[in-house]
Structure 1
Amino acid sequence: MNETKKERERVVILAVQLKSQGDFQFQESLSETVSLSKTAGLEVVGQYVQNRDRSDAKTYLGKGRIEEIIEEVDREDIAFDVIIVNDELTTSQSRHLSDIFDAKIIDRTQLILDIFAQRAKSREGQLQVELAQNEYLLPRLSGHGVSLSRLGGGIGTRGPGETKLETNRRHIRSRIHDIKVQLEDIKAHRERYRVQRKKSQVFQIALVGYTNAGKSSWFNQLTQSETFEEDLLFATLDPKSKVMQINEGFRVILSDTVGFIQQLPTHLIEAFSSTLEEAKYADVLIHVVDRSHPNYEGHIKTVNHLLASLDMTTIPTVMLLNKSDLVDGDVQEESHDTLVVSSRKHEDIDRVKHFISRFIKSQMTPYQLDIDTNQGKAISQLKEDTMVSKIDYDEERDIYHMTGFERTDSGTVNRIMKTEKSEVRDE
Structure 2
Amino acid sequence: MIDIKEKEKMVERALLVGAYTDTNGRPEATSLLEELEELVKTLGIPIMDRLLVYHREQHARLLIGTGKADEIVKRVKDQGLDVIIFDNELTPSQQRNWENLAGITVIDRQEVILDIFARRAQTREARLQVELAQLEYSLPRLTRAWGHLVRQGGGIGARGEGETQLEQDKRRVRTAIDRCKRELEQVRLSRATQRKDRKRAPVPNAAIVGYTNAGKSSLLRRLTGADVLIEDKLFATLDTTTRKIALPNKQPLLLTDTVGFVRKLPHRLVEAFNATLEEAALSDFLIHLLDASQPEVMEYYNTTMKVLAELGADAKRTLIAFNKIDKVGDSAALAGLRRHFPDAVFLSVHTGEGIEELVERMAEFVATGMVTREFLIPQSAGSLLAQLHRQARILETHYEGEFVRIVAVLPGRLAEACENLLKEAAAKNLIDPTFFTDKLIATG
Correspondence for 1:35 among 35, 38, 54: 38
Residue 403 of structure 1 deviates from its aligned partner by: 7.0
Query: Partners in 1 of 2:219 and 2:108 — Cα distance?
Result: 32
CA RMSD of aligned residues (A): 3.6
Which residue of the partner structure matches residue 410 of structure 1?
415
1:211 and 1:261 in contact (8 A); partners too: yes
1:37–1:167 Cα change, 3 Å: farther
Moved more, 46-55 or 254-263: 46-55
Relative to 1, partners in 2 of residues 1:337 and 1:177: Cα closer, same or farther, differing over 3 Å? farther
Q: CA deviation at 1:200?
A: 0.4
Aligned-pair CA distance for 1:177 = 0.5
Q: Does 1:12 align with 2:50?
A: no
Cα contact 2:345–2:354 (8 A) shared by 1 = no
CA distance in 1, matches of 2:250, 2:364: 15
**In the alignment, residue 354 of structure 1 is paired with which amino acid?**
E
Deviations 1:141-190 (A, max 9, x none): 246555999xxxxxxxxxxxxxxx99611111111011111011111001
Q: How does 1:44-55 map to 2 (within 5 A)?
A: 44-55=47-58
- Summarize the Cα distance change of 1:271–1:104 in structure 2 as closer, same or farther, 3 Å threshold: same
Q: Distance in 1 between matches of 2:298 and 2:64?
A: 31
- 1:221 correspondence with 2:222: yes
Give yes or no for the alignment of 1:200 onto 2:201: yes
The aligned residue for residue 99 of structure 2 is 98
Give the SS at the match of 2:244.
strand
Aligned to 2:390: 384
Length, aligned pairs only:
391
Task: Quote the Cα distance in structure 2 between the aligned partners of 1:133 and 1:204.
Answer: 32
- 1:8 is displaced (CA, Å) by 6.5
Instruction: Measure the CA separation in 1 of the matches of 2:231 and 2:144.
Output: 39
Where 2:354 maps in the other structure, the secondary structure is: helix
SS at match of 1:141: helix
* Partner Cα distance (1:377, 1:141) in 2: 59
Distance change in 2, residues 1:402/1:168 (3 Å) = same
Instruction: Give 3-state SS (helix, strand or coil) of 1:22's partner.
Output: helix
Asked if the contact 2:89/2:109 (under 8 Å) is kept, the reply is yes
Which residue type is aligned with residue 346 of structure 1? G
Relative to structure 1, the CA distance from residue 403 to residue 199 in structure 2 (aligned partners, 3 Å threshold; closer, same or farther) is closer
Cα deviation for residue 209 of structure 1 reads 1.0
Distance 1:358-1:245 versus aligned 2 partners, 3 A rule: same
Q: Is the 8 A contact 2:10 2:82 kept in 1?
A: no
1:244-283 equivalences under 5 Å are: 244-283=245-284
Deviation at residue 18 of structure 1 after TM alignment: 1.2
Of 361, 364, 368, 1:358 maps to 364
1:148 and 1:50 map into 2 onto residues whose CA distance is 36
**Match of 1:181?**
182
Percent same amino acid at aligned positions? 34
Q: Which residue number in structure 2 is paired with residue 63 of structure 1?
A: 66
2:4 aligns with none
Shift of 1:114: 0.2
State how far apart, in whole Å, the 1-side matches of 2:75 and 2:169 are.
39
Deviation at 1:128, TM superposition (A): 0.8
Q: For 1:99-129, what per-residue CA distance to the aligned partner results, in whole angstroms no more than 9, with x for missing partners?
A: 2221111111110000001100111111111
TM-score normalised by structure 2 residue count: 0.78
Q: Which amino acid aligns with 2:283?
A: A
Residue equivalent to 2:118: 117
**Separation in structure 1 between the aligned mates of residue 27 and residue 133 of structure 2, nearest angstrom:** 30
Task: Deviation per CA, 1:245-299: give whole Å up to 9, x if none.
Answer: 2135322221111111111122111011111122221111111111211111121
CA–CA separation in structure 1 for the residues paired with 2:360 and 2:253: 13
Structure 1: runs of 5+ lacking an equivalent: 1-5, 150-164, 394-400
CA distance in 2, matches of 1:336, 1:382: 36
Distance 1:259 1:166, change over 3 A: farther
> Which residue identity is paired with 1:182?
E
Distance 1:20 1:237 in 2: 36
2:244 is aligned to 243
The residue number in structure 2 matching 1:301 is 302
Q: What amino acid is the match of 1:97? A: W
Letter matched to residue 67 of structure 1: D
Contact 1:292–1:324, Cα closer than 8 Å, also in 2:
yes
1:170 equivalent in structure 2: 171
| Structure 2 match to 1:156 | none
Q: Distance in 1 between matches of 2:58 and 2:38?
A: 23
Shift of 1:71: 3.6
SS of aligned partner of 1:410 = helix
Identify the residue that residue 155 of structure 1 maps to in structure 2.
none
- Structure 2 stretches lacking a partner, 5+ long: 1-8, 151-165, 398-405, 440-444
**CA-to-aligned-CA distance 1:70-99 (integer Å, 9 cap, x gap):** 444455xx2322211111111221112112
Which residue in 2 is equivalent to 1:397?
none
Do the aligned partners of 1:249 and 1:383 also contact (CA within 8 Å) in 2?
Answer: no
Going from structure 1 to structure 2, the CA distance change for 1:265 and 1:334 (only over 3 Å counts) comes to closer
1:345 aligns with 2:367: no
In 2, distance between residues paired with 1:351 and 1:24?
Answer: 35
Q: Which moved more, 1:283-292 or 1:78-87?
A: 78-87
Amino acid at match of 1:244: I
Cα distance in structure 1, aligned partners of 2:48 and 2:389 = 58
Q: Normalised by the size of structure 1, how large is the TM-score?
A: 0.81
Q: Which stretch of structure 1 is more off in the superposition, 282-291 or 50-59?
A: 50-59
Closer, same or farther: CA 409–21 of 1 in aligned 2, 3 Å: farther
Deviations 1:6-56 (A, max 9, x none): 996321112211126622221121111111101111111111222112333
Which stretch has the larger CA shift, 377-386 or 311-320? 377-386
Larger Rg: 2
Contact 1:211 1:234 in 2 (8 A): yes
CA offset at residue 201 of structure 1?
Answer: 1.5
Aligned to 2:108: 107
Contact kept? 2:322, 2:346, Cα under 8 Å: yes
Change (3 A) 1:147 1:109: farther
Which stretch of structure 1 is more off in the superposition, 112-121 or 61-70?
A: 61-70
Structure 2 counterpart of 1:161: none
